[in-house]
Chains A and B, each alone.
Chain A
Amino acid sequence: MRYLIPFLVFVTMVVFLAIGLTLDPREVPSPFIGKPAPRFSLPQVAETGKTFGNEELQGQVSLLNVWASWCVSCRQEHPVLMQLARQNLVPIYGLNYKDERAAALGWLKQFGDPYRTSAFDADGKVGIEWGVYGVPETFVIDKQGVIRYKQTGPVTEEVLQKKLLPLIRELEQEKTSS
């Protein structure tokens, strides 16, 4: 009985610390979840004359992957994206963040291009509009152009199977209103 209270205090602390261990402090909840994707219009990486913007994201479930040729973790997730692109389950669009055009094009040539199109965000302004803070980041956007999920850090096979694909399937079921 004498030791009961200290013991309970100890157990409570252990529980809190254990929960703390499972949390990733780098994962900052995005304020955009459930909100329309921020407006943007940028030149494409491959074709400078053409632009890429919100209109292309309307009417379909899509992924917007923020990447750069200088980003090490992007290389890590790249095979996963390539595989996803081959399966043709969901269109993947790229946002090339603070990169150089030649380097970006070289990267796509060397490792393969999983993107329908990549937008070229040279100064990172659109990245800031989208709340990007650590490349790679991947946004899941629904048919209405609303952001439904954000993956910060590389898309791994596990993230794809457990989070992204189930969500994409669910969003595909939603009707396009208007």
Chain B
Amino acid sequence: MKWCLIFSGLLLYVNVQATEIRHFDDADKQQRYENLIKELRCLVCQNQSLADSDADLAQDLRDEVYSIIQSGKNQEEAAQFLVDRYGDFVLYRPPLKITTSLLWLGPFVLLLIGASFIWRQAKRRSTRPQAPELTHEERQRLQHLKEKLGR
């Protein structure tokens, strides 16, 4: 019982969000803000989004995003604000450019290479020569054996 209580306490703790409460004048803005901070990377703890990060800078950037959204700008404009200052790196979904083409197309190229390899293997297996024909002698021996076994 005691352990059960501690465990449920831990579960509750995990559910507490680190992000502060923001007030927006309409729900649409709130939605935009919440979508954005999940899509933007914190530069201090690079594997966390702005929404997840507790870093000081993440907090400041959330403030910036908040005031941009609050001023009525859309998601792209707010994201562009950060891209102008920190580069494409802040976007978890980088745009398709020459420098990011390997990132975007690489997996498909590897998939194609893998698929063509399997296809070639399969083809080779299906066209493998059949077992050689039996000679006249061999056939006679086979017949002989069959008769002997009573078939």
Majority secondary structure of chain A interface residues (helix, strand, loop or mixed): loop
**Interface stretch of the complex, out of B14-22, B78-86, B134-142:** B78-86
The answer to whether A28 touches B89, judged by C-beta atoms less than 8 angstroms apart, is: yes
Interface string of B40-78 (1 = CB under 8 A from A): 000110100000000011001100100000000000000
Q: Which of A56-64, A109-117, A128-136 contacts B (4 or more CB under 8 A)?
A: A128-136
Instruction: Report yes or no: B60 in contact with A128, Cβ–Cβ below 8 A.
Output: yes
B87 proximal to A (CB < 8 A): yes
CA distance A30 to B64 in the complex (A): 19
- B47 CB to nearest chain A CB (Å): 10
A20 at the interface (CB under 8 A from B): no
- The residue that A134 contacts in the complex, of B43, B61, B84, B89, with Cβ under 8 A, is B43
Interface size class of B (residues with CB under 8 A): 10 to 19
Contacting residues, chain A, for B61 (C-beta < 8 A):
128
Majority-rule SS of B interface residues: helix
Whether the pair B46, A26 counts as a contact (CB closer than 8 A) is yes
Given contacts A128-B61, A128-B64, A133-B57, contact A25 B46 (CB under 8 A): yes
How many A residues touch B, CB cutoff 8 Å?
16
B-chain residues with CB within 8 Å of residue A123 when the two chains form the complex: 60
Alpha-carbon distance between A124 and B55 when the two chains are bound, in angstroms: 14
Q: Given known contacts A25-B46, A26-B46, A28-B43, is B56 in contact with A131 (CB within 8 Å)?
A: no
CB–CB A133/B56 < 8 A? no
Q: Which residues of A contact B (CB under 8 A)?
A: 25-26, 28-32, 98, 123-124, 128-131, 133-134
